[in-house]
Structures are given as C-alpha cells and as structure tokens.
Amino acid sequence: MGRMAALSTQQTVIIGLLIVCYLAVCLRTALRMARTGRSLWLWLLITVFLTSIPATVVLMREQFRAVGRGRRGPADEPRHERPFRCRHCRKLVRPADVDHSSGVAACPHCGLALDEAETG
C-alpha cells in the first residue's frame, strides 16, 4: 500500500476556504428558493448534498414561464399586487387571497390579522 501524504497547513486552509465558500453558495441558493415559497431547510439539504443544480433548474424554469406570460418577474407587478409573507406563519400570501370580510385583513393560511403595511 502507498503512503498518504499529509496536507500542509496552506493546503488545509485552502480546502477550508473552499468548503466555507461552497456552504455560502448553498445557503444563498436555499434563501433564494425560500423567497419563492419553498422550504429553506429542504433546499439547503438538497444543495449541500446534490449541488445547487436542481435549484437552478427550478428557478430557471419559473423565470422562463414568467417570460412566456409576458412579464419578467415580481418587480413588474404593482406593489399592491405582489405576494408577501405573513409575519405569523411565514407563508406566501397573494393580496387577492386576503380575507377582508371581517373588516380586518386576515391571512388565508393561519387566519391571524395582517398589518396594514403588509396588505398595502
């Protein structure tokens, strides 16, 4: 059997920096997926163990679908029509789905009151 060469301090530092950079890219990808309403932890695990290629494919597919519908993305929507996150349950809420029947805007997922700033 051959002998394994020990890593030098410089090599260990470089490998450590590569690992930190990889984890930062995985976290950034998972945060991007969370902004589109997907599970942060699930996509963090997927990107760490399978690379971020699946997330990239999903995001690109959504972008192409948005272009096909004639708009580039959420930035093209008026502010009062953009989805937002409920501060209680953290789920995406479309303004059209907000229940105003009781006089107080309520989240369609958890039923708790939404702030005026959230509902526009």
Domain-located, residue 94: yes
Domain assignment of residue 82, given as a range:
77-120
What integer is the mean pLDDT of 43-59? 84
Verify that 95 and 119 share a domain, yes or no. yes
Verify that 20 and 69 share a domain, yes or no. yes
Domain-located, residue 7: no
Sign, CA torsion 92/89/54/56: positive
Number of structural domains in the chain: 2
Domain-located, residue 85: yes
pLDDT tier at 71, thresholds 50, 70, 90: low
Residues of the chain by 3-state class (helix, strand, coil), percent to 5: 55, 5, 40
Domain-located, residue 50: yes
What's the token pair of residue 21? 């950079």
Whole-model pTM over 0.75: no
Three-point CA angle 92, 93, 98, nearest 5°: 165
Report the C-alpha gap between 113 and 94 in whole angstroms. Answer: 15
Q: What is the reported pLDDT for 75?
A: 54
pLDDT tier at 90, thresholds 50, 70, 90: confident
Verify that 82 and 117 share a domain, yes or no. yes
Residue that wins the pLDDT comparison between 114 and 70: 114
Three-point CA angle 99, 74, 77, nearest 5°: 70
Phi, psi of 92 (to 5 degrees): -70, 135
The DSSP code for 40 is: H
Verify that 68 and 33 share a domain, yes or no. yes
Report the C-alpha gap between 37 and 91 in whole angstroms. Answer: 7
Verify that 60 and 70 share a domain, yes or no. yes
